[in-house]
């Protein structure tokens, strides 16, 4: 709030002036800085239509520091002239004076002085005229008195070029009475206080209006990661559909569960060094359900269970190799095998967890990502059931074009029957990555901005809640 004294004085001045006052003049009349008056104008404006103030700007000339010095003591050249006695002055002596250098060249060009270079004892300077008129000083004095209008623009510019003069723009207000002008103003309160509430003074007070254009203060809070927010929603969808979550907290898997149990042949390219991370320590898995392993071996190498098999030499050494799992289906295989070791009951399983691929990395591919997987096992499931359940799932996601984002299918009998699942049981399954829908949802183009330490924390702070179907 501006100084109330100034505010009141300003209002009195405005009251007296019929057609208004200029804020600069007010400042000089009140003997305060112009900014103080501007502050008073602003605070009055905030009160409503007490005054009206139009911004106007005016230009005037002002002497620079050097200009002020010249106005007092004469121009450099005049001072040079006057410091040269009739018998002349050694040039080097002159140059020692503060104004010597500039004044000398200017006086030379005005032809007030001359140099005798041949003089014994070094070059010496002599007056060439008897007297001079110091026009520069005269002009500056005129300007200082405020009578600059007598000078021509050209002359002013000349002085400006010599940095003796500068043009100053003054922004000021032209202040007139407003529609609700009054010389007495009540001070506005900024905020409601407990005291006001206690003594009821808030009833009489006027309150300063809020600026509703401004942003509020950001709350001091923590934030959840957007990918994890999307994960939560996917879990929710599966739970709504009656799916039980699989324990996928085993990143290290044997090739047996990751590939062989799924009836993936041992020469499959996915089992290449180029696609899968193998372990050097612990390099091998050491324990398998032996009876089951024998059945898996048989179905690969000889067939059976209605299958021709792949007819190749299945090696336990290949199955033992430990890897970072390349899909969560390895866990699904374990769960289905466990299911087959009990009385069969229909199940619906899901998981969302990390999987690993030793792939070439780019803007959309990382060596690890999250796989979403759904599995249904029951008697007599059909392709129509698979398509129906996928439709339901993707409808919950709010995705229309779901073909592009994932894979789905019915597990082969060569996978299920060796596990010991009953003949009539079918298992349908589908999977997709968590990252891709998240990137689409949050409009992220580079996966590194989303996952890993290069994440943009500001993005995390700013990301909205995740509603997949909206």
Report 162-221 residues binding other proteins (CB under 8 A): 220-221
Report 76-105 residues binding other proteins (CB under 8 A): none
Residue 290 beta carbon to other proteins: minimum distance, rounded to whole angstroms: 8
Residue 248 beta carbon to other proteins: minimum distance, rounded to whole angstroms: 7
Residue 222 beta carbon to other proteins: minimum distance, rounded to whole angstroms: 4
Report 422-441 residues binding other proteins (CB under 8 A): 422, 424, 426, 428
What is the C-alpha to C-alpha distance for residues 132 and 19, in angstroms, rounded to an integer? 49
| Cis status, amide bond into 461, omega within 30 of 0 | no
Q: Which stretch binds other proteins (CB under 8 A): 70-78, 148-156, 186-194, 310-318?
A: 310-318
Residue 435 beta carbon to other proteins: minimum distance, rounded to whole angstroms: 11
DSSP 3-state of 422: coil
Report 125-144 residues binding other proteins (CB under 8 A): none
Query: Which phi-psi region, left, alpha or beta, contains residue 31 (left: φ > 0; alpha: ψ -120 to 50)?
Result: left
Q: CB nearer to other proteins: give 184 or 249.
A: 249
Residue 401 binds to other proteins (criterion: CB under 8 A): no
Q: CB nearer to other proteins: give 76 or 321.
A: 321
Q: CB nearer to other proteins: give 123 or 303.
A: 303
Binds other proteins by CB under 8 A, chosen from 137, 254, 326, 329 = 254
Residue 307 binds to other proteins (criterion: CB under 8 A): yes
Q: Which stretch binds other proteins (CB under 8 A): 39-47, 102-110, 125-133, 307-315?
A: 307-315
Residue 342 beta carbon to other proteins: minimum distance, rounded to whole angstroms: 7
Question: Measuring CA to CA, which residue among 39, 123, 57 is closest to residue 88?
Answer: 123
Binds other proteins by CB under 8 A, chosen from 46, 55, 129, 228 = 228
Long-range pairs of 337-343 with CB within 8 A, sequence gap ≥ 24: 337/261, 337/289, 337/292, 337/419, 337/420, 339/377, 339/421, 340/416, 340/419, 340/420, 340/421, 341/420
DSSP 3-state of 467: coil
What is the C-alpha to C-alpha distance for residues 387 and 406, in angstroms, rounded to an integer? 13
Report 266-305 residues binding other proteins (CB under 8 A): 267, 269, 273, 277-292, 295, 303-305
Binds other proteins by CB under 8 A, chosen from 141, 185, 347, 397 = 347
And the tokens for 191?
Answer: 């905020």
What is the C-alpha to C-alpha distance for residues 32 and 24, in angstroms, rounded to an integer? 10
Report 317-346 residues binding other proteins (CB under 8 A): 322, 324, 331, 334-335, 337-338, 340-344, 346
Relative to beta strand 425-433, strand 113-116 is unpaired
Which residues make Cβ contacts (< 8 Å) with residue 352, sequence separation at least 6? Answer: 231, 234, 235, 248, 370, 371, 372, 373, 434
Report 367-386 residues binding other proteins (CB under 8 A): 367-368, 376-385
Residue 310 binds to other proteins (criterion: CB under 8 A): yes
Q: Is 447 exposed, middle or buried (0-12, 13-18, 19+ CB in 10 A)?
A: buried
Report 41-70 residues binding other proteins (CB under 8 A): none
Which residues make Cβ contacts (< 8 Å) with residue 366, sequence separation at least 6? Answer: 435, 447, 448, 451, 452
Is the distance from CB of 235 to CB of 228 less than 8 angstroms?
A: no
Residue 465 binds to other proteins (criterion: CB under 8 A): no
Residue 118 binds to other proteins (criterion: CB under 8 A): no
Is the distance from CB of 430 to CB of 234 less than 8 angstroms?
A: no
């Amino acid at each position: 709030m501006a100084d109330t004294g100034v505010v009141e004085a300003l209002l009195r001045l405005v009251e007296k002036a019929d057609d208004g006052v200029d804020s600069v003049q007010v400042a000089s009349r009140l003997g305060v800085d112009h900014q103080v008056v501007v502050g008073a104008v602003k605070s009055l404006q905030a009160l409503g239509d007490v005054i009206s103030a139009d911004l106007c700007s005016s230009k005037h000339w002002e002497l620079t520091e050097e200009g002020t010095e010249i106005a007092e003591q004469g121009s450099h050249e005049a001072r040079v002239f006057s410091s040269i006695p009739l018998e002349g002055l050694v040039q080097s002596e002159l140059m020692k004076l503060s104004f010597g250098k500039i004044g000398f060249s200017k006086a030379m060009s005005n032809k007030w002085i001359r140099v005798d270079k041949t003089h014994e004892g070094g070059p010496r300077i002599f007056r060439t005229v008897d007297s001079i008129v110091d026009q520069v000083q005269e002009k500056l004095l005129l300007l200082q008195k405020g009578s600059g209008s007598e000078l021509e623009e050209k002359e002013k510019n000349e002085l400006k070029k010599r940095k003796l003069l500068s043009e100053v723009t003054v922004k000021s207000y032209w202040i007139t009475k407003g529609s609700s002008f009054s010389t007495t103003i009540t001070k506005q309160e900024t905020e409601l206080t407990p005291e006001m509430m206690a003594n009821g003074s808030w009833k009489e007070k006027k309150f300063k209006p809020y600026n509703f254009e401004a942003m509020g203060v950001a709350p001091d809070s923590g934030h959840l990661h957007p990918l994890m927010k999307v994960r939560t929603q996917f879990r929710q969808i599966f739970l709504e559909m009656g799916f039980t979550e699989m324990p996928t907290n085993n990143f290290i898997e044997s090739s047996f569960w990751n590939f062989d149990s799924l009836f993936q042949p041992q020469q499959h390219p996915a089992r290449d060094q180029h696609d899968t991370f193998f372990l050097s320590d612990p390099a091998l898995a050491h324990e398998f359900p032996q009876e089951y392993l024998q059945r898996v071996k048989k179905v690969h190498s000889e067939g059976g269970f209605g299958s021709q098999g792949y007819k190749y030499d299945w090696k336990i050494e290949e199955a033992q190799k430990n890897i970072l799992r390349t899909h969560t289906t390895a866990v699904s295989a374990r769960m289905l095998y466990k299911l087959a070791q009990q009385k069969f009951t229909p199940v619906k399983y899901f998981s969302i967890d990390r999987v690993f691929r030793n792939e070439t990395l780019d803007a959309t591919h990382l060596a690890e990502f999250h796989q979403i997987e759904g599995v249904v096992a029951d008697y007599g499931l059909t392709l129509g059931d698979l398509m129906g359940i996928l439709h339901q799932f993707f409808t919950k996601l709010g995705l229309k074009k779901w073909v592009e984002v994932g894979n789905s299918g019915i597990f082969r009998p060569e996978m299920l029957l060796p596990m010991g699942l009953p003949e009539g049981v079918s298992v349908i399954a589908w999977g997709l990555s968590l990252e891709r829908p998240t990137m689409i949802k949050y409009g992220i183009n580079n996966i590194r901005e989303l996952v890993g330490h290069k994440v943009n924390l500001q993005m995390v702070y700013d990301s909205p809640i995740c509603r997949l179907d909206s």
